[in-house]
Chain A
Amino acid sequence: MSDETLKHTPLYAAHVEAGARMVPFAGYAMPVQYKDGVLKEHLWTREHAGLFDVSHMGQARLRGVSPLSAFEEVTPGDFIGLKPGKQRYSVLLNKTGGIIDDLMAGRPDDDGLFVVVNGACKENDFKVIDAELAGQVRIDRLEDRALMALQGPKAAQVLAIHAPDAAKLAFMETAALQAFGVDAIISRSGYTGEDGYEISVPGEAALHIWNTLLADERVRPIGLGARDSLRLEAGLPLYGHDLDETVSPIEAGLGFAVSKKRRDARDFPGARRIAAELGGDVTRKAVGLKVEGAPAREGAEIADAEGAVVGVITSGGFSPTLGYPIALGFVPPALAAAGTELKVIVRGRAQAAQVVATPFVAHRYVRKV
């Protein structure tokens, strides 16, 4: 895809001016790193606060007579029971229980359901939702809004200066409120494992807000490179890599997204497969691996102690926080227990790898305020 056909977020000029290296991502020209580089940006976010432009992601309101119950027809989550001010992580499922996308859906106010989906999947997601829920919900895409994430141990202190009400939110709470002089939708969530917020604002106000946050010496801009290494350390799957239309939430280790009520009701797409998997009939499970030697990247084979290929790495790289390579991949359930010794094949050579619990780096979500 040439540069001319790539879309720009409202913050494009700010990234270029800051010396970012821009790359094509989900049809947009996005900053993969700024001048500091991936390693420093990663560590800065873990120690201070990082600001991410994630305006490529798809934002929409689902409106209708009962959008919450309608949304249960395409996801395995308990949305009827979603209280105002709360949001959930969920997955859009196909008929065979495979994941079409993973997403956040919340109730920042009484105006239907506010959903945020992956940028690379958004056109298909909204097409699928529209096809499945036509007549029940209207999808109002919020393409005029920007989205940024402020993540890290200093995020709450920084945001409290500009949006005191947002500081009252706990993890996975969301609110529509006035912040930075505009109508904002703020949730205490993110995809780094750190405390932090996702901040949706009108696109024309984004640059001012971006610069206002960056004026705080605790905040630095962080690119997609560090966003990827941060989420990997947090053990969070990335769509198109760890998740795709063949992967079920049970295989992916996302069983928490299949609510108790829905498990009993078995009333979601692919429920038969997912019920069978919950009953133990599952052929692969996502695991975390600590890798010795060279980083094992996506596509590298996983072998058992005898050298027989048993699985594949879905994402992997060097962990800046831990100082050694880590990876996510699929293995048979019998080899999925923490402590299991495996091999990863990197450039034709077998390297030692051990199954470890995820997250690799502990989450620091603030669940109570």
Chain B
Amino acid sequence: MRFTKDHEWVSLDGDVATIGITAYAAEQLGDVVFVETPEVGKSVTAGEGLAVVESVKAASDVYAPLTGEVLEANAALAEAPETVNQAPEADGWFAKVKIADASAYEALMDRAAYDAFLETL
């Protein structure tokens, strides 16, 4: 698993990246009440909007950590957005994206680097 400074996580299986928000981000957001996931087939660019996650209080953008094409969105979040709080780095994933460049994945932070980054916040 790799991480961004915007608190997204990515796990890579072949050329398919599964993307979500970290436990830290979920805790900061508070209770998630709505998730807007991307449409299948949409092209996403690293650093641009991938999804929107809404707490009672506010809407927050979730950015694509990598460039690619959306293969699947987590439809279960429509009925159970609280999954993002309950299992942010597992069942609370947002989208699966087919990526062109696996080296960009390796360039993201690993767990140790992300944990060190959290210490600076």
A38 contacts B34, CB within 8 Å? no
Task: Given A33-B30, A38-B30, A38-B31, decide whether A317 and B36 contact each other with a Cβ distance below 8 A.
Answer: no
A228 to B30, CA, bound (A): 15
Shortest beta-carbon distance from B78 to chain A in Å = 10
B52 contacts A347, CB within 8 Å? yes
Q: Which residues of A contact B56 (CB under 8 A)?
A: 38-39, 42, 225-226, 229, 317-318, 320
Q: Which residues of B contact A85 (CB under 8 A)?
A: none
Residues facing A in B24-44 (CB within 8 A) are: 30-31, 33-34, 36
B55: Cβ under 8 A from any A Cβ: yes
B72: Cβ under 8 A from any A Cβ: no
Q: Which residues of B contact A37 (CB under 8 A)?
A: 30-31
Q: Which residues of A contact B36 (CB under 8 A)?
A: 294, 347
Q: Which residues of B contact A38 (CB under 8 A)?
A: 30-31, 55-57
Q: Which residues of A contact B52 (CB under 8 A)?
A: 294, 347
Task: Given A38-B55, A38-B56, A297-B59, decide whether A318 and B30 contact each other with a Cβ distance below 8 A.
Answer: no
Q: Which residues of B contact A297 (CB under 8 A)?
A: 58-59
Per the CB 8 Å criterion, the residue count for chain B at the interface is 12
A294 contacts B30, CB within 8 Å? no
A76: Cβ under 8 A from any B Cβ: no
Q: Which residues of A contact B110 (CB under 8 A)?
A: none
Which residue on chain A has the smallest CB distance to residue B85? A37
A318 to B53, CA, bound (A): 12
Shortest beta-carbon distance from B111 to chain A in Å = 25
Q: Which residues of A contact B30 (CB under 8 A)?
A: 33, 37-39, 225
A295 contacts B59, CB within 8 Å? yes
A294 contacts B57, CB within 8 Å? no
A228 to B56, CA, bound (A): 10
Residues facing B in A22-56 (CB within 8 A) are: 32-33, 37-40, 42
Interface centre among B36, B55, B58 (most CB of A within 10 A): B55
B34 contacts A318, CB within 8 Å? yes
Shortest beta-carbon distance from A226 to chain B in Å = 8
Q: Which residues of B contact A229 (CB under 8 A)?
A: 56-57
A interface residue numbers (CB < 8 A to B): 32-33, 37-40, 42, 225-226, 228-229, 293-295, 297, 317-318, 320, 325, 347
| Other A-B pairs, 16, CB within 8 Å; known A38-B55, A318-B56 | A32-B57, A37-B30, A39-B30, A39-B56, A225-B30, A225-B57, A226-B56, A229-B56, A229-B57, A293-B34, A295-B33, A295-B34, A297-B58, A317-B56, A318-B34, A320-B56
Selected A-B contacts with CB under 8 Å, 19 pairs: A32-B57, A37-B30, A37-B31, A38-B31, A38-B56, A39-B30, A39-B33, A40-B31, A42-B56, A225-B30, A225-B56, A225-B57, A228-B57, A229-B56, A294-B52, A295-B33, A317-B56, A318-B54, A318-B56
